[in-house]
Amino acid sequence: MDFQEEELSQSDSLIGTVDMLRTNRGVLLEAALDGAVNVQCSRCLRDVHCPVSLEIIEEFQPTVDVVRGTFVAVDEEDAALLINEHHVLDIAEVVRQALLLEVPLQVLCREECAGLCPICGQDLNLGLCDCSQEATDPRWDALAALLVEGELS
Ligand SMILES: [Zn+2]
Ligand SMILES: [Zn+2]
């Protein structure tokens, strides 16, 4: 599977086991998958490699009765949990949702990441920019504080 979300992309393939059990209503899916994604550091926006471990237990429902071939009334709210009219059970959406829940909201490339300059956007891990010298002037401090505030809101 290939994930490309706004803030994360897939790094390593998801590998693991998927078991399917027949139930009264449909098919119970049990999956245990390991892989890794790249998430942006919330300070400097660099990609951070983030291992993930997914445990998924979901019941899928058929949209077509396999014996009679007629359509079954289903809850459209659970679109990710439906087996389509060609009897295909697609786990992509369920895995995507589990992945988004698993990835931490705040990721730092390292604890002491210096982040980006709020004025010019330079990555301060790579060195100080010119703004940081001017920022010793108290008038600039007030402006920098405003900009930082603006970034956070
Ligand atoms: Zn960082
Ligand atoms: Zn700067």
Residue that wins the pLDDT comparison between 130 and 140: 130
Radius of gyration over every alpha carbon of the chain, rounded to an integer in angstroms = 23
Look at residue 7 and tell me whether its pLDDT is greater than 60.
yes
Residue 151 near residue 121 (C-beta atoms within 8 A) = no
**Ligand 2 centroid – CA 136 distance (Å):** 12
Q: What is the mean pLDDT of residues 117-141?
A: 79
Nearest C-alpha neighbor of 58 from the set 33, 97, 27, 103: 27
The lowest-confidence range among 29-33, 128-132, 135-139 is 135-139
Residues of 14-48 as b/e, b for ≥16 C-beta within 10 angstroms? beeeeeeeeeeebbebebebebebbbbbbbbebeb
Measured CA to CA, the distance from residue 32 to residue 46 in angstroms comes to: 29
**Ligand 2 centroid – CA 116 distance (Å):** 8
Tally Cβ neighbours within 10 Å of residue 131: 18
> Where does the chain show beta strands of DSSP type E?
8-22, 27-40, 47-62, 82-83
The tens digit of pLDDT for each residue in 73-107 reads: 877 778 889 999 898 999 989 998 999 899 888 89
pTM of the predicted structure, to 2 decimals: 0.71
The lowest-confidence range among 34-38, 76-80, 143-147 is 143-147
Which pLDDT belongs to residue 151? Answer: 64
**Ligand 2 centroid – CA 148 distance (Å):** 12
**Ligand 2 centroid – CA 65 distance (Å):** 63
**Ligand 2 centroid – CA 121 distance (Å):** 6
Which ligand is closest to the CA of 117, given by its number? Answer: 2
**H or E stretch covering 134:** helix 130-134
**Ligand 1 centroid – CA 4 distance (Å):** 20
**Ligand 2 centroid – CA 151 distance (Å):** 14
**Ligand 2 centroid – CA 7 distance (Å):** 24
The tens digit of pLDDT for each residue in 85-94 reads: 898 999 989 9
Q: What is the mean pLDDT of residues 66-75?
A: 82
Which ligand is closest to the CA of 147, given by its number? Answer: 2
**Ligand 2 centroid – CA 144 distance (Å):** 10
Measured CA to CA, the distance from residue 120 to residue 80 in angstroms comes to: 43
